[in-house]
Amino acid sequence: MHKNLFLLFLIITSFSFSQNSKLTSSSKVSILTCGTGNESYSLYGHTGIRIKDISSGIDIVYNYGAFDFQTPNFMLKFVKGDLQYFVTTNQYADFEYGYRYENRSIYEQELGLTLEQKQLLYQQLNGSLFSEDRYYTYKFIDRNCTTMVIDKINSILGSKIITTKKPVTISYREILFPYVENHYFQKLGINIIFGNKVDNAAETLFLPLELHRTLKESKVDLKPLVTKETTVYEAKIVPYQSSVLNSAYIVISILVLIVLANNKHITSTYLTIAGLMGVFLTLVGLYSFHEEVLWNYNVFLFNPLLLLFVFTLYKRNTQWIINVGKINLVCLVAYLLFLLNKVDLMLLLPFIAAHFIMITRIIMKCKSKNKVENTIVL
């Protein structure tokens, strides 16, 4: 009990101090951009705000993007898109040590803000730590650790100084693709679960390294927004070790084996799994608030109608098999045509080919069977 009261006293005291303390003319505000890592949560890097004032003994990093695994119904809220994320702080020394330990680059860009702007930002950031503003609903593109920092800085500047360069000629999916180049299954999963929105022009600046590049060109009253750039730590280059278990080869091999097996039970099992994936994509699109998973055209590949197709196979109704199979083939052709100018075409092409071969082969067998049954032997 005494320990809890002491901790509460420390929090209140530090909050009171941070709210009332004044930054000096030697204070600095900078954007910290941290490089990518190998874990799923670190694939796209991180953005933080550093406020440093040697005269006042202040050197704090404000981070958006924290969440609590102990949140009730965590997975359901995460999938639905109403999980609450929040802002946290670190002493800069701890922040730098953590990213150095993970061998992730740290780049610092000092902003040319006035003392009044620095003070206002400092007060707003500290105020949000102990108010409802601390929490926000995470959105992969529209509200993450980078967009929240951009919004804060733009609000201090009084206009959208930090924004994408127009016209935008690249899609969100195209921007994301290189980040998972060496992570095949993450790349495959992301491109299957994401729908039409990520194919739109990337109007929103949402990734740390993209922000880092944009800040270099951002100007306020014809003056560069960034007054000083520093590479705090450059990650050591670790040679990429390719693995068959983390590449397209394993998926292509499995699909080839399924096709070559030409076994009714194996084929129907695979098509059932593919159909259930389609049901999942459909339900997630209806259930989730994440706009990225809405209108997912991948349901034409992992088609819920495949379940009906498998059902007709077990019912041995040849005409229904042919009809439902043709509908699935039409969906596949439409899907392929839609994907022709998309960056993920080659990623999903093995599935398209395998589905087309399996369904076409079944239809041809049924047509041959009907022809034999309808032949009149004289």
Q: Distance between CA 303 and CA 270 in Å, rounded?
A: 12
Q: Is residue 165 situated within a structural domain?
A: no
- What's the mean pLDDT when you consider all of the chain? 89
Write phi, then psi, for 276 (nearest 5 degrees): -65, -35
Residue 243 — pLDDT band, cuts 50, 70, 90? Answer: confident
pLDDT single digits (tens) 135-146: 888 899 999 999
Q: Is residue 264 situated within a structural domain?
A: yes
Q: Distance between CA 370 and CA 319 in Å, rounded?
A: 8
Q: Is residue 200 situated within a structural domain?
A: no
Residues 226 and 250 reside in one and the same domain: no
Q: Is residue 378 situated within a structural domain?
A: no
Q: Tell me: pLDDT of 104 over 50.
A: yes
Q: What is the pTM of this model?
A: 0.87
Which one, of 196, 135, 204, 155, lies nearest residue 175 by Cα?
Answer: 204
Residues 286 and 362 reside in one and the same domain: yes
The one-character DSSP state at 234 is P
Domain that holds residue 283: 244-371
Residues 83 and 211 reside in one and the same domain: yes
What percent of the chain has a predicted confidence (pLDDT) above 70?
A: 92
Write phi, then psi, for 131 (nearest 5 degrees): -145, 180
Q: Is residue 313 situated within a structural domain?
A: yes
What percent of the chain has a predicted confidence (pLDDT) above 90?
A: 71
Q: Distance between CA 104 and CA 37 in Å, rounded?
A: 6
Enter the tokens of residue 104: 């992730």
Residues 79 and 225 reside in one and the same domain: yes
Q: Is residue 42 situated within a structural domain?
A: yes
Residues 111 and 137 reside in one and the same domain: yes
Q: Is residue 181 situated within a structural domain?
A: no
User: What was the pLDDT predicted at 8?
Assistant: 40
Q: Distance between CA 341 and CA 194 in Å, rounded?
A: 17
Residues 229 and 286 reside in one and the same domain: no
Residues 111 and 225 reside in one and the same domain: yes
User: What was the pLDDT predicted at 372?
Assistant: 58
> Beta strands 106-111 and 226-233: pairing type?
antiparallel
User: What was the pLDDT predicted at 157?
Assistant: 95
Amino acid at 78: F
Residues 250 and 228 reside in one and the same domain: no
Neighbours of 178 (CB within 10 A): 10
Q: Distance between CA 302 and CA 351 in Å, rounded?
A: 9
User: What was the pLDDT predicted at 304?
Assistant: 97
CATH of the domain at 42: 3.90.1720
Residues 228 and 270 reside in one and the same domain: no
- Residue 84 pairs in a beta bridge with 137
Residues 224 and 249 reside in one and the same domain: no
How many CA atoms does the CB half-sphere of 5 hold within 13 Å?
2
- Residue 109 pairs in a beta bridge with 31, 229
Query: Is residue 224 reached through a cis peptide bond, with omega within 30 degrees of 0 on the bond before it?
Result: no
Q: Distance between CA 376 and CA 133 in Å, rounded?
A: 80
Residues 222 and 86 reside in one and the same domain: yes
Separation in Å, CA 179 to CA 51, 183, 306: 29, 8, 32
Mean pLDDT of 69-75: 77
> In total, how many domains does the chain have?
2
Q: What is the DSSP string of 290-344?
A: -GGGSS-GGGGTS-THHHHHHHHHHHT-HHHHHHHHHHHHHHHHHHHHHHTTSTT
Residues 352 and 277 reside in one and the same domain: yes
Q: Is residue 191 situated within a structural domain?
A: no
User: What was the pLDDT predicted at 352?
Assistant: 98
Using CB atoms within 10 Å of the CB of residue 243, give its burial: 0 to 12 exposed, 13 to 18 middle, 19+ buried: exposed
